[in-house]
Amino acid sequence: MKRSIRWRLTVWNAVGVAVVLVGFAALVYWLAGRAFRQQADRTAEAAFRLVETDPRMATNPSVRAKYWVREFDEHMGVLAAIYEPDGTPLAAHPGVTSRGLSGASPVRRLETDPDGHRWRLAVEVVRASDQEVHVLLMVPLRHQEADLAALGRAMLLAIPVGLVATAGLAYLLARGAVAPVDQLRQTMERITADRLHERLPVHNPNDELGQLAGTVNTMIGRLERSFAEIKRFTADASHELRTPLTAIRTVAEVALAGDPTREELRDIIESVLEECGRMARLTDQLLTLARDDAGVVPRPLERLSITSLVRDVVDTLRPLADAKGVSITFEESQSFGTVAGDPVRLRQVVVNLIDNAIKYTPPGGSVRVGTVEVDGNVRLTVADTGEGIPAEHLPRVFDRFYRVDKARSREQGGTGLGLSIVQSIATAHAGGVSITSGEGVGTTATVTLPLNRAVEPA
């Protein structure tokens, strides 16, 4: 069962505080017990020093031993026994034996009597004047043990109370921490394909949630632009396909309504075939763009000479230029390295650019094609002396289905996808394309492709 972040934060905080409280309580309990034992040791040390500084222990040890045993019991609450070095008792409190006496001295340890009371046992060899005696002391710890037990009970009561209070506080803090997340979630649930204009609130752009909201807003912006492009593309594609279909339908209806002659039927069929060819070209171009958008590479890249490819296209399209009365020249630079790419698609780039230049150049004009190496790249330029493109149209010439002169473009068989395809192919080959133009001065298209790029696997 998956728990909410609020619940997990509460549990993690409670567990963390529990570990800290239990560790702190154990440390305090241990330090208190250690302090009580040190206090008992100091009491025993004071008793040893009293015996050691008694000058009469040397002259009358038995009497003085009994005095100190009684004195320790009455005034210090300490049970004592004093022995000669051979173990003969000089004086001893009832119940105190010679336990703890050994060759090793001094001795400090805890003892428990049959009644369960704990004592601090201390044994030390004391030299009073010239008399050496063994002094055994038993310091009672019942008061300290009682205080330690009371401390333990207080801690056992305080720890659960502290944990409950901490868990409650942790829950409130967790709820406050995830409240902006809930707000973001609710806002995101309202954002659909029809409401991509909405954005998430960014209260603090410098914290993590603010940065997350900013990133999501950026993503929504990209989606909004993509959806707008898709809608525009779909509408334009539908319009472009409807035009030849309408033409075919109109011609067919006219043919059915009358009694056309053989020549008229031939003209009707030619018109239908022309519109079918237009639809086929448009479909092929749409398929090319769809494959590029999906990142589909139709065939592996090859190393090829861009100069040879351009020269071949120029020779192929030269009759088209001659038929229109447009001169076309190819200005070759010195030889340079090869380009890694798809020869069919790169040929399509060159064909589209030169074909556009010929279409929009009036008779008597010229088209100049050139290749040159610049900074490790090959630069292909196609310049014409046509009427040019107005400045306000230049930013949109690569938009799909965009035409500067729609009526003229349709008359010449254009679909408004040629430059979009050129840009898509150039980008797929790690290159780029740009257009410069001015009214009355012609248009120059420039394609840049990297030289000597490693061939990518298919």
Q: Tens digits of per-residue pLDDT, 386-407?
A: 888 887 777 778 776 666 655 4
Q: Which of 68-72, 92-96, 180-184, 229-233 has the lowest mean pLDDT?
A: 229-233
Residue 400 belongs to a domain: yes
DSSP string covering 206-223:
TSHHHHHHHHHHHHHHHH
Q: Which of 46-55, 178-187, 233-242, 431-440 has the lowest mean pLDDT?
A: 233-242
Residue 223 belongs to a domain: yes
Note whether 404 and 393 are within 8 A (CB): yes
What average pLDDT does the segment 417-430 reach? 81
Cα 191 from chain centroid (whole Å): 23
Distance CA 42, CA 309 (A): 103
357 against 246, higher pLDDT: 357
Q: What is the pLDDT of residue 408?
A: 44
Residue 422 belongs to a domain: yes
Residue 433 belongs to a domain: yes
Q: What is the pLDDT of residue 99?
A: 57
Note whether 54 and 64 are within 8 A (CB): yes
Please determine, for residue 298, whether its predicted confidence score (pLDDT) is greater than 70: no
Distance CA 310, CA 399 (A): 25
What average pLDDT does the segment 198-214 reach? 79
Q: What is the pLDDT of residue 457?
A: 37
Distance CA 58, CA 65 (A): 11
Q: Which of the residue ranges 23-32, 165-174, 207-216 has the most confident prediction, judged by mean pLDDT?
A: 23-32
Residues 337 and 433 in one domain: yes
Q: What is the pLDDT of residue 368?
A: 92
Domain's final residue, options 294, 312, 341 = 294
Q: Give the chain's domain count.
A: 3
Strand order in the sheet with 107-112: 89-92, 79-83, 131-140, 118-128, 107-112
What average pLDDT does the segment 156-178 reach? 82
φ/ψ (deg, to 5) at 330: -120, 115
Distance CA 360, CA 113 (A): 116
What average pLDDT does the segment 428-432 reach? 85
Residues 247 and 309 in one domain: no
Q: What is the pLDDT of residue 367?
A: 92
Domain's final residue, options 121, 148, 175 = 148
Residues 87 and 213 in one domain: no
Residues 246 and 221 in one domain: yes
Exposure class string for 343-354: b at 16+ Cβ within 10 A, else e:
bebbbbbbebbb
Residue 285 belongs to a domain: yes
The angle at the Cα of 346, spanning 341 to 352, to the nearest 5 degrees, equals: 165
pLDDT tier, 410 (very low <50, low <70, confident <90, very high otherwise):
very low
Q: Report the residue count for the chain.
A: 458
Cα 320 from chain centroid (whole Å): 56
Distance CA 383, CA 400 (A): 22
Residues 263 and 309 in one domain: no
Q: What is the pLDDT of residue 417?
A: 73
Q: What is the pLDDT of residue 369?
A: 92
What average pLDDT does the segment 304-327 reach? 87
pLDDT tier, 171 (very low <50, low <70, confident <90, very high otherwise):
confident
Residue type, 330: F
Residue 408 belongs to a domain: yes
Please determine, for residue 456, whether its predicted confidence score (pLDDT) is greater than 60: no
Residues 342 and 415 in one domain: yes
Q: What is the pLDDT of residue 289?
A: 63
What average pLDDT does the segment 176-204 reach? 77
Q: Which of 28-32, 182-186, 287-291 has the lowest mean pLDDT?
A: 287-291
The CATH number of residue 142's host domain is: 3.30.450.20
What average pLDDT does the segment 332-350 reach? 79
Residues 245 and 322 in one domain: no
Please determine, for residue 66, whether its predicted confidence score (pLDDT) is greater than 50: yes
Residue 185 belongs to a domain: no
What average pLDDT does the segment 229-257 reach? 71
Note whether 216 and 185 are within 8 A (CB): no
Range of the domain at 107: 5-148
Residues 144 and 83 in one domain: yes
Q: What is the pLDDT of residue 102?
A: 52
pLDDT tier, 446 (very low <50, low <70, confident <90, very high otherwise):
very high
What average pLDDT does the segment 276-295 reach? 67
Residues 407 and 348 in one domain: yes
Residue 163 belongs to a domain: no
Residues 270 and 324 in one domain: no
Please determine, for residue 194, whether its predicted confidence score (pLDDT) is greater than 60: yes
Going by C-alpha positions, the residue among 450, 404, 403, 405 that lies closest to residue 426 is 450
Residues 434 and 349 in one domain: yes
pLDDT tier, 27 (very low <50, low <70, confident <90, very high otherwise):
very high
Residues 126 and 259 in one domain: no
Q: What is the DSSP letter of 86?
A: T
Q: Which of 57-61, 220-224, 308-312, 430-434 has the lowest mean pLDDT?
A: 57-61
The CATH number of residue 247's host domain is: 1.10.287.130
Q: Tens digits of per-residue pLDDT, 104-141?
A: 467 788 777 777 778 888 888 888 777 788 888 888 88
Q: Pseudo-torsion of CA 23, 24, 27, 33, nearest 10°? A: -120
Q: What is the pLDDT of residue 166?
A: 83
The CATH number of residue 359's host domain is: 3.30.565.10
Please determine, for residue 439, whether its predicted confidence score (pLDDT) is greater than 50: yes
Q: Tens digits of per-residue pLDDT, 74-108?
A: 888 888 888 888 778 888 888 676 555 554 467 78
Q: What is the mean pLDDT of the chain?
A: 79
